[in-house]
């Protein structure tokens, strides 16, 4: 379990993390999301003691990282996959890491197999592809068989087979009762991997909720209705907060009213519906909506779209 209490980090005048409070629970994969510069990496660095908070605290299983007697056995982290001596082989990199923390050699063999690096384990890390480097980073994180894992962009650079592999691995590790926190910019992947989300923007908490709830709360919620009598149905739906748009004669996209109610209104008037489909926002749409005000740099196009939406 990871717990942050009033966690704050300032770099000079810049506040990277501000009064952040959250709990990452065991047994589920928790996604850590936020626009660029939101403070994710800073928070992760504080979790594993690479940076110290200006105020507040963050603990792993009740203690700050440095207070643990064998931190690698407590928390496994991959923050910068490339932070490896490039002249060493993958095997020796892991062996050196293990030796400094009293982890037996056989565990190195285990993690090498677990991450699928057996064939290249004796090759120099300098020649590794981005994907192989990621696998090595994950091997390092798993070395101490820790109850808690903190991974910054672990799928970055992996091919589709690698992405599927890590998704399955993380879900399995969580199912064993571990605490898994990962950040990713790939929303579709996050939607498939994580059950819970912590979303931050400009260093502050925006949401701490299940993926399902986060998507449900996004207002991108509409109902698609198809009927030969769409013209007759349309005025019946009108009301405060209801909006109806239509690009095709027989199709209405309705927001502000539930599909149950639309179905009832149509039935009362004897209007036959060919389709009545609630459309849920994707995690990406929900994320864009929830973090819109927290985006550090907006492209002119995105800003223009926002203005058009607001107009
Ligand atoms: N060592 C540092 N010195 C000064 N400012 C820093 C330092 N590290 C981070 N920052 C600033 O703190 C803020 C948060 O950065 P951080 O890297 O934690 O964000 P992030 O959410 O991980 O972003 P990204 O998604 O782009 O990786 C940014 O404005 C960044 O410029």
pLDDT tens readout for residues 180-231: 999 988 888 898 999 999 999 999 999 999 998 888 877 667 899 999 999 9
Mapped onto helix, strand or coil, the DSSP state of residue 98 is helix
Question: Is 39's C-beta closer than 6 angstroms to any atom of ligand 1?
Answer: yes
On the question of pLDDT at 304 being above 50, the answer is no
On the question of pLDDT at 233 being above 60, the answer is yes
Alpha helices in the chain (DSSP H): 40-47, 71-74, 90-100, 105-114, 130-142, 160-175, 187-193, 211-217, 230-237, 259-268, 283-291, 300-310
Atom of ligand 1 nearest to the CA of 43: 18
Confidence band for 305, pLDDT divided at 50, 70 and 90: very low
Question: Is 14's C-beta closer than 6 angstroms to any atom of ligand 1?
Answer: yes
**Which residue is closest in CA terms to ligand 1's atom 6?**
11
Beta-strand pair 243-248/251-255: antiparallel
The model carries a pTM of 0.81
Residue 38 Cα to ligand 1 midpoint, Å, equals 7
CATH code of 2-216, in short, is 3.40.50.300
What is the topology classification, in CATH, of domain 222-279? Answer: Alpha-Beta Plaits (3.30.70)
Torsion of CA 56, 3, 32, 69, to 10 degrees: 100
Atom of ligand 1 nearest to the CA of 39: 18
Residue spans of the domains in the chain: they are 2-216, 222-279
Inter-axis angle of helices 160-175 and 130-142, nearest 10:
10
Pocket test for ligand 1, best of 13, 15, 32, 41 (most atoms within 8 A of CB): 41
Which tens digit of pLDDT belongs to each residue from 5-60?
999 999 999 999 999 999 999 999 999 999 989 999 999 999 999 999 999 999 99
Residue 11 Cα to ligand 1 midpoint, Å, equals 9
According to the model, what pLDDT value does residue 302 have? 45
For 158-177, what is the mean pLDDT? 92
Q: Which residues pair with 181 in a beta bridge?
A: 30, 150
């Amino acid at each position: 379990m990871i717990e942050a209490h009033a966690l704050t980090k300032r770099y000079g005048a810049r506040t990277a993390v501000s009064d952040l409070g959250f709990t990452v629970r065991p047994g589920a994969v928790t996604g850590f999301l936020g626009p660029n510069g939101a403070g994710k990496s800073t928070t992760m660095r504080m979790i594993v003691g690479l940076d110290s908070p200006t105020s507040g605290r963050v603990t792993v299983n009740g203690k700050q990282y440095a207070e643990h007697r064998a931190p690698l056995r407590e928390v496994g982290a991959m923050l910068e996959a490339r932070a490896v001596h490039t002249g060493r082989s993958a095997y020796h990199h892991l062996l050196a890491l293990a030796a400094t923390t009293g982890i037996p050699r056989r565990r190195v063999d285990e993690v090498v197999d677990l991450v699928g690096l057996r064939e290249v384990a004796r090759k120099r890390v300098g020649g590794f592809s981005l994907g192989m480097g990621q696998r090595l980073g994950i091997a390092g994180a798993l070395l101490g068989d820790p109850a808690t894992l903190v991974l910054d962009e672990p799928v970055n650079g992996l091919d589709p087979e690698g992405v599927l592999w890590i998704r399955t691995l993380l879900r399995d590790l969580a199912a064993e009762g571990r605490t898994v926190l990962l950040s990713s910019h790939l929303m579709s992947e996050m939607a498939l991997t994580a059950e819970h989300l912590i979303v931050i923007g400009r260093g502050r908490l925006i949401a701490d909720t299940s993926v399902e709830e986060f998507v449900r709360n996004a207002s991108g919620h509409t109902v698609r209705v198809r009927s030969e009598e769409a013209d007759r149905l349309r005025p019946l739906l009108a009301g405060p907060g209801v909006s109806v748009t239509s690009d095709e004669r027989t199709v209405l996209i309705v927001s502000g009213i539930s599909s149950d109610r639309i179905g009832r209104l149509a039935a009362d008037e004897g209007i036959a519906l060919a389709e009545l489909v609630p459309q849920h926002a994707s995690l990406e749409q929900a994320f864009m909506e929830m973090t819109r005000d927290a985006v550090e740099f907006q492209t002119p196009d995105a800003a223009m779209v926002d203005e058009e939406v607001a107009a």
